[in-house]
Structure formats: structure tokens, C-alpha cells
Amino acid sequence: MVRATTERSKEGYHHGNLRVALLASAREMLETQGVGALKLRAITRQVEVSPMAVAPHFGNLRGLLTALATQGFEELAHAIKTGKARSLKDAGLAYIYFAIRNPGLFTLMFRGDAIDRSDPAFAGAASDSFALLDTWAGTSGKAAGFAPQIAEAVMWGKVHGLAILAIDGLLTPLVQATDPHIDLEQFLEQALDYMNTATSG
């Protein structure tokens, strides 16, 4: 339960910090119970506020989820920029690690039917993240006869695919079958190494 810094003034109207409280509450439910648990009434119940209290801040549920996804893309861009993202592999790793450490949020960020992709703030944050990946892809060796957009799409597709498969648990059988055994993060790191060294993958 997230509250305003000063206990909410007199327990009456005006929460004081409702916007961030709703986002924090929704995010907590998102990671602990999955995207399916993101019901308006469940979120507002946790903040002890009426369902329609979202209206002034987000309009409706879709607006709230869109704001949450926007926040996710901002964090993703930050993760790619900072850390040790000094190479193509590190940029890809940052993308994948963000996904598996925030699985619910990452899923929401790409759920076109749950959010409003035409929202300016969302669209901006999303394309900022994508542009960062494009930058890294552009620094890679370009093969002759291919449009630069191909290299960008491939770079993005590879990390995105691994991230989604990992989140959905579809990689677990493969990871468990490794001998000697390695964990998921090691598996993913080696997968990126493999892509950049092996010719046919």
C-alpha cells in the first residue's frame, strides 16, 4: 500500500499523491500477480480509493496502464544507456535483462490491446528505446547488399525474441537441459555470444 509522504491529510478527500500511488500499486500487482490481475477496482481497492478516482489523473484504466507502460520504456532506455552498455552485446543484454527482471511490465509494454499506443508520451518513450537499439545495430558490421534497416530489425528481433520466450517460460526446458548446467542469465549471455560469433544460428 503506497501512501502520500505525510500520511494523507486528515483521511478525507485529496489523497495528495494519488497519481504515483496508483502507478506503484498497479506495478506491484503486475509483477506479483501478472497482467491479468490489472483490474481497475483491484488497483483502487489497494490504495483505498474509489474506482473513479483514476479519472482526474489518467482518464480511465487504459490511461493508467499506458502511463505505466510509458514508465517502463523510460526505464528500459535508461537501462540500455547506463550500466556497462558499451558494446552491441551489452546493449542487447541490457534489453533482455530488463525484460526478465520486470516480466509483467515488459509484457504490458507490448500489449497493444491494453494500452493506447497513440498516446504522445508513450509513443515518445517507446521510440526513444527503439532508437537506442538502432544506434547499436548501426555500429555493427554491415553486410553487403542489405539495407541498414535489416540489420536493425535483426538486432532487435533477436533480443526481443529471446526476452519474450524467457518471460513465457518457454526457455526453461532448454536451460535445464544444459550440461554442465547453467542458469537463465548465463544461458542468455551465451546465446548473445553465440549469435555474434557463429555464422549460422
Partner DNA sequence: CATTAGTCTTTACAATGTAAATATGACAGA
Partner DNA sequence: TCTGTCATATTTACATTGTAAAGACTAATG
- Site residues for a copy of itself per CB under 8 A: 34-36, 88, 110, 112-113, 130, 137, 140-143, 146-147, 149-165, 168-171, 174-175, 177-179, 182, 187, 190-191, 193-201
Q: Residue 168 burial by CB count (10 A; 0-12/13-18/19+): exposed, middle or buried?
A: exposed
Shortest CB 175 distance to a copy of itself, Å: 7
Side chain identity, residue 136: W
Range list of H helices, 102-147: 103-109, 120-139
179 binds, among a copy of itself, DNA, none (CB under 5 to 8 A by kind): a copy of itself
36 binds, among a copy of itself, DNA, none (CB under 5 to 8 A by kind): a copy of itself
In the complex with a copy of itself, the residue whose CB is nearer, 54 or 155, is: 155
In the complex with DNA, the residue whose CB is nearer, 9 or 178, is: 9
Shortest CB 23 distance to a copy of itself, Å: 21
In the complex with DNA, the residue whose CB is nearer, 115 or 151, is: 115
Nine-digit cell at 46? 489497494
Which CB contacts under 8 angstroms, 24+ apart, belong to 9-15? 15/47, 15/49, 15/53
56 binds, among DNA, a copy of itself, none (CB under 5 to 8 A by kind): DNA
Shortest CB 22 distance to DNA, Å: 9
Nine-digit cell at 171? 526457455
DSSP 143: P
In the complex with DNA, the residue whose CB is nearer, 33 or 149, is: 33
Cα 184 to chain centroid, rounded: 18
Give the whole-angstrom CA distance, residue 111 versus residue 162: 17
Give the whole-angstrom CA distance, residue 84 versus residue 24: 28
Nine-digit cell at 149? 534497416
* Residues found near DNA in the complex (CB under 7 A): 9-10, 12-16, 18, 39-42, 44, 49-53, 55-57, 60-62
